[in-house]
Chains A and B, each alone.
Chain A
Amino acid sequence: QQKVQQSPESLIVPEGGMASLNCTSSDRNVDYFWWYRQHSGKSPKMLMSIFSNGEKEEGRFTVHLNKASLHTSLHIRDSQPSDSALYLCAARRNGNYQLIWGSGTKLIIKP
């Protein structure tokens, strides 16, 4: 069982629409969260991080975090075809500071 669960597994959104991706850690010994984006055939690249409760916005991307439920969500507004990618969520373990990764959400933006 994946300790960091992402949903949905895949998502199709029309160009210009809003994409919403979810991530929850069942491992309670985590503190911070990161979102990475991986285009097909490429390596993951960090998109956003969130460390405290609330919301963080960077351009078209907004991340929310609820530390009590260890749930984070990523929202992409005005989605572009270039946003089509695998989105990976990672939570940092307390103690050894290693990341636990979800298996990702495959986002497809349809022109």
Chain B
Amino acid sequence: EAAVTQSPRNKVAVTGGKVTLSCNQTNNHNNMYWYRQDTGHGLRLIHYSYGAGSTEKGDIPDGYKASRPSQENFSLILELATPSQTSVYFCASGGTGGDTGQLYFGEGSKLTVL
């Protein structure tokens, strides 16, 4: 079974503070993703990556940065956290070609910004 691990699982941050969410995958997948999930919106893509050193903007990148220093690791960075960024964040990894829709998700990181 493909493995994606996120940390921290729960985080409380203050408005204006910096938050880093980390993700590690042992699937040797090229593609990695960061999503947020809010009630009524499903999953919304923030940033994604095709491999080490690459990051791409997703549908809602404002207020977020991403970093992919290696095949296994993909981080999401909130430089100046705001209450509107309170959400559950999911990291996922996936293959290429016809399998691009088969994603393996981490267990999620619940972020609360006060």
With A43-B106, A43-B107, A45-B105 in contact, do A101 and B100 touch (Cβ < 8 Å)?
Answer: no
Alpha-carbon gap, A43 to B91, bound state (A): 10
A90 within 8 A of B: yes
Q: Are A104 and B42 in contact (CB under 8 A)?
A: yes
B103 within 8 A of A: yes
A29 within 8 A of B: no
Q: Are B42 and A102 in contact (CB under 8 A)?
A: yes
**Nearest opposing residue in chain A for B106, CB measure:** A43
Alpha-carbon gap, A92 to B58, bound state (A): 14
- Which residues, 90 to 114 on B, are CB-close (under 8 Å) to A? 90, 98, 100-103, 105-108
Q: Are B41 and A103 in contact (CB under 8 A)?
A: yes
Q: Is the interface of A mostly helix, strand, loop or mixed?
A: strand
Give a binary string over A86-109; 1 marks a CB under 8 Å from any B CB, 0 the rest.
Answer: 001010100001110111100000
With a cutoff of 8 Å between Cβ atoms, the chain A residues found around residue B106 in the complex are 43
A61 within 8 A of B: no
Give a binary string over A4-35; 1 marks a CB under 8 Å from any B CB, 0 the rest.
Answer: 10000000000000000000000000001110
Q: Are B105 and A98 in contact (CB under 8 A)?
A: no
> What residues of chain B have their CB less than 8 Å away from a CB belonging to chain A?
40-45, 48, 58, 90, 98, 100-103, 105-108
Question: 7 shortest A-B CB distances, which residue pairs?
Answer: A43-B105, A103-B42, A101-B42, A101-B43, A34-B101, A97-B100, A92-B101
